[in-house]
Chain A
């Protein structure tokens, strides 16, 4: 069974860059799209963007100027970078595998708080 695990700093200062890694186990990143999705505390889900294992990406226009998603097939990892963060970027960040459009496997999520 595919498992995903997000990791990274839980606290980021305003104006700095949020950096997260998603490690995939029990399967390969190859031949799939992989999404990053976030959820502010007590709120709904927001799609950040996704990446194909070959490196093709698509981002949410609302975040496009600040987001970079990359993949390292040798490490079976994805990464998310979000620059110039503000308190509005405080959220649980999830990585998920995309299969036929929907997300069939999700990580447990990691809470990132933006605060000085």
Chain B
């Protein structure tokens, strides 16, 4: 099973700051990496597919990069509505797995 490790677990950020969340895979997954945003009491929402492609309707301040084992989600100019937990997810091999999540709080 592929283990995805996100860092940090928690981040407290001021509006307009840049946020960087990393996801490291325990083995090479190519670009089969997805990022989701989950707000309290809501289902996750897809932000980024194939490591770097933005999903339809996602604000342009969200971007993804990486391949192989190291991936990054970047939120440029954080807005208050971005307070949420962010998860990475791999579909390269079964079972599919998720990172443990990174909670982003607005200061």
> Which residue of chain A has its CB nearest to the CB of B43?
A106
Is B91 in contact with A102, judged by CB distance below 8 angstroms?
A: yes
- With A58-B94, A60-B95, A102-B34 known to touch, is A45 a contact of B89 (CB < 8 Å)? yes
Whether B100 is near chain A, meaning CB under 8 Å from some CB there, is yes
Bound together, the chains give a CA A108 to CA B38 distance in angstroms of 11
B62 interface hit (Cβ, 8 Å): no
A-B contact number at CB 8 A: 60
Interface residues on B, range: 20 to 34
Is B15 located at the chain interface by the 8 A CB criterion?
no
Q: A102 vs B96: C-alpha distance in the bound complex, in angstroms?
A: 10
Contact of A106 among B44, B50, B96, B97 (CB under 8 A): B44
Main secondary structure of the interface of A (DSSP, over half): strand
Instruction: Give every chain B residue within 8 A of A26 (Cβ-Cβ).
Output: none
Given A45-B98, A101-B50, 17 extra CB contacts under 8 A = A44-B101, A45-B87, A60-B96, A61-B1, A61-B95, A94-B43, A94-B44, A100-B50, A102-B46, A102-B49, A102-B50, A102-B91, A103-B44, A103-B46, A104-B46, A104-B49, A107-B43
A31 proximity list for chain B (CB < 8 A): none
B95 near A47: Cβ-Cβ < 8 Å: yes
Measured between beta carbons, the chain A residues less than 8 angstroms from B95 are 47, 58-62
Known contacts A100-B50, A101-B49, A102-B89; decide if A47 and B96 are in contact (CB<8 Å). Answer: yes
Sorted from nearest, which 7 A-B pairs have the closest CB atoms? A101-B91, A102-B34, A106-B43, A47-B96, A60-B95, A45-B98, A102-B49
Interface residues of B (CB under 8 A from A): 1, 32, 34, 36, 42-46, 49-50, 55, 87, 89, 91-92, 94-101
Residues of chain A with a CB closer than 8 A to B96's CB = 35, 47, 50, 60
Task: Known contacts A101-B34, A109-B43; decide if A44 and B89 are in contact (CB<8 Å).
Answer: no
Residues of A within 8 A of B99 (CB): 44
Given contacts A100-B49, A101-B34, contact A44 B44 (CB under 8 A): no
Q: Could you tell me the distance in whole angstroms from the C-beta of A82 to the nearest C-beta in chain B?
A: 15
In the bound complex, CA of A94 to CA of B42 (Å):
11
